[in-house]
């Protein structure tokens, strides 16, 4: 750190102390905040500062159980609300937010600044990239969700008192892949082994094994018709786990 950088940090810290009336030791690391009724599996790594088991609005500390499986890596500035159940091997990026009511399977990855609002159901070995937003979405196993993909769940925002009972969030079937910056409208079903091109706006169901792209997203071809540009494979997805399909 340069002399100018040290002076900037010191000045900023002194400013915080003046505003709050508290003196903070320069360079002292922030700790983790783990609330009541949190069960951490074996070999979980919480890289400070993280928050685990934060009670949602209207709940008290410890009222909802929070479970993290074995070998999870929760990176700094991640917040996990109470009432969430997470399987073995979750890895988060920095600053991920996981709200209450989420169920996340084993071997998943949730990227930096991704937001999982309430009541998502995430399967096993799912990759949710940085900046994605999900609410009331069902995601099956081995799904790829690219950076900044947005799932919507309310057809008539905002303030409808019955929106949770309406169409709800999308469903993404096993082996599906969604390209970066796509937007998925409420209630849409992304079919098994399908591919959504980057920047698409998906307004209706995507058939199994198809490629769609555009705004609104339209049929392009079958996934089986895609070619490997480098010629390494006869066609894409001739590798695990897609051979299971």
Q: Are residues 160 and 154 in contact, defined by beta-carbon separation less than 8 angstroms?
A: yes
Our answer to whether residue 142 is catalytic in this structure is no
Catalytic residue among 8, 94, 142, 156: 156
Rounding to the nearest 10 degrees, give the CA dihedral for residues 16, 94, 52, 174.
Answer: 160
CB-facing half-sphere around the CA of 166: CA atoms within 13 A: 17
CA dist list (Å): 175 to 102, 145, 151, 202, 242: 20, 11, 18, 17, 7
Nearest to 194 by CA among 235, 218, 233, 222: 222
Tally the residues of the chain. Answer: 245
Beta strand 73-74 pairing with 210-213: unpaired
Q: Alpha helix locations (H) across the chain?
A: 3-20
Residue 182, SS3? coil
Query: For the purposes of burial, counting CB atoms within 10 Å of the CB of 115, is it exposed (0-12), middle (13-18) or buried (19 or more)?
Result: middle
Tell which residue, 128, 233, 213, has the closest CA to residue 172. Answer: 128
Which residues are known catalytic residues? 156
């Amino acid at each position: 750190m340069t002399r100018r950088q040290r002076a900037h940090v010191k000045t900023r810290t002194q400013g915080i102390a003046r505003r709050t009336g508290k003196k903070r030791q320069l360079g002292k690391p922030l700790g983790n905040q783990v609330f009541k009724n949190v069960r951490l599996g074996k070999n979980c790594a919480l890289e400070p500062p993280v928050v685990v088991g934060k009670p949602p609005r209207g709940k008290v500390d410890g009222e909802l159980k929070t479970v993290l499986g074995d070998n999870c890596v929760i990176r700094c500035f991640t917040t996990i609300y109470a009432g969430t159940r997470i399987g073995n091997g979750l890895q988060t990026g920095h600053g991920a937010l996981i709200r209450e009511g989420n169920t996340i399977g084993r071997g998943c990855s949730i990227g930096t600044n991704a937001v999982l609002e309430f009541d998502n159901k995430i399967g096993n070995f799912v990759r949710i990239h940085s900046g994605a937003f999900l609410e009331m979405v069902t995601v099956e196993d081995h799904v790829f969700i690219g950076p900044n993909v947005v799932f919507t769940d309310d057809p008539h925002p905002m303030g409808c008192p019955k929106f949770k009972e309406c169409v709800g969030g999308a469903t993404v079937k096993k082996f599906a892949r969604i390209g970066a910056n796509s937007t998925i409208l409420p209630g849409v079903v992304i079919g098994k082994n399908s591919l959504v091109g980057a920047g698409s706006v998906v307004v209706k169901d995507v058939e199994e094994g198809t490629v769609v792209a555009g705004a609104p997203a339209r049929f392009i071809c079958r996934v089986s018709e895609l070619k490997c540009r480098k010629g390494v494979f006869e066609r894409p997805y001739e590798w695990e786990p897609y051979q299971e399909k």
